[in-house]
């Protein structure tokens, strides 16, 4: 935590103990209806100090203990290729909807936001709802089709972001973002972000692959499925960039994690 007047003030905001106790009682009562679960005993000081941590510890223990029934089955295909847990399955070329570069020329930084479309089909008996979650992306739009039969085809527009000011990204990736931008600027005759950039020696395929490798390593799409018997199940899709050719065409694969 950065120490300043704001964070010191926030640090002094605490949920009343009665609120914490009521929340824990709700969790206990809910779990008793399903199954008797031995909860970890928590000291009063720990309860008052960090409400979110307490609820996470208690509730996640409870949720994991519910998994004794057989898990409903469903399949996921991405861009018409069925995904498995065994290995990555090629799912074709990245269907890029658009890319936006937002430069901060004063600091030589920029943010790259790229949007692509993925067609995800979920097949299984008795499906009533499908929800998408996960991390490493923003779900920009979704169009559903064919959900009346209990299966669903979802056309997702997904946004992934690389920000060259983000110190969490390796410097090589951040540099690749700046170089790709200036390569495009050179072609368009636009001002460069980096005055010394030389498009003649630039290898687009290598730099683009570096960016996509990083973005896809962080990309996890969870597919949460609800069934008409009240059960739910979830699978997680992960992706990898297979190659980027000299035209910038990106080949990708997916598998279930």
Partner 1 sequence: MIYRIAMHNLSNPSDAEDIVQEVSLALLTKCPDDKDDIAVKHWLIRVTINKCKSFHRQFWQRKRESIDDYLHLEAPHQRGVMDEVLELPKKERNIIYLYYYERYSIRDIAEILHINANTVSSHLQRARKKLKSILTEGGTYHD
Q: What are the residues binding partner 1 (CB under 8 A)?
A: 1-16, 19-20, 22-23, 26-27, 30-31, 50-52, 55-56, 59-60, 62-64, 66-67, 102, 111, 113, 133, 135-139, 159, 161, 163, 165-169, 222, 224, 234, 236
Partners of 99 in the β-ladder:
114
Distances in Å between the Cα of 144 and the Cα atoms of 129, 147, 189 are 11, 7, 41
* CA separation for the pair 177, 195 (Å, rounded): 15
Question: CB-wise, 204 or 239, nearer to partner 1?
Answer: 239
- The token pair at 41 is 């005993």
Question: CB-wise, 27 or 199, nearer to partner 1?
Answer: 27
Question: CB-wise, 63 or 96, nearer to partner 1?
Answer: 63
Tell me the DSSP string of 146-207: S-TTS-EEEEEEEEEEEETT-TTS-HHHHHHHHHHHHHHHHHHTPPPSSTT--GGG--HHHH
Question: CB-wise, 73 or 234, nearer to partner 1?
Answer: 234
Structural contact between residues 124 and 225, judged by C-beta atoms closer than 8 angstroms: yes
CB of 128 to partner 1, least distance (A): 15
CB of 136 to partner 1, least distance (A): 7
Question: CB-wise, 10 or 45, nearer to partner 1?
Answer: 10
């Amino acid at each position: 935590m950065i120490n300043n007047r704001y964070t010191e003030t926030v640090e002094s905001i605490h949920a009343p103990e009665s609120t914490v106790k009521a929340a824990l009682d709700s969790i206990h009562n809910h779990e008793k209806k399903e199954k008797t679960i031995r909860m970890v005993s928590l000291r009063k000081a720990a309860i008052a100090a960090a409400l979110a941590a307490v609820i996470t510890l208690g509730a996640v223990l409870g949720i994991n203990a519910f998994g004794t029934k057989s898990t409903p089955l469903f399949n996921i295909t991405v861009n018409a290729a069925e995904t498995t847990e065994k290995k990555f399955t090629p799912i074709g070329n990245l269907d890029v909807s658009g890319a936006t570069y937002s430069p901060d020329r004063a600091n030589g930084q920029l943010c790259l936001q790229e949007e692509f479309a993925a067609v995800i089909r979920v097949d299984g008996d008795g499906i009533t709802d499908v929800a998408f979650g996960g991390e490493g992306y923003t779900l920009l739009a979704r169009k559903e089709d064919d959900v009346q039969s209990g299966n669903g085809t979802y056309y997702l527009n997904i946004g992934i972001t690389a920000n060259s000011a983000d110190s969490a990204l390796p410097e090589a990736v951040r540099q690749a973002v700046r170089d790709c931008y200036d390569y495009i600027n050179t072609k368009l005759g636009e001002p460069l972000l980096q005055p010394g950039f030389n498009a003649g020696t630039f290898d687009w395929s290598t730099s683009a692959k570096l960016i996509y490798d990083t973005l896809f390593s962080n990309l996890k799409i969870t597919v949460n499925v609800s069934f008409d018997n009240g059960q739910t199940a979830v699978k997680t899709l992960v992706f990898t960039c297979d190659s980027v050719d000299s035209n910038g065409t990106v080949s990708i694969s997916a598998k279930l994690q």
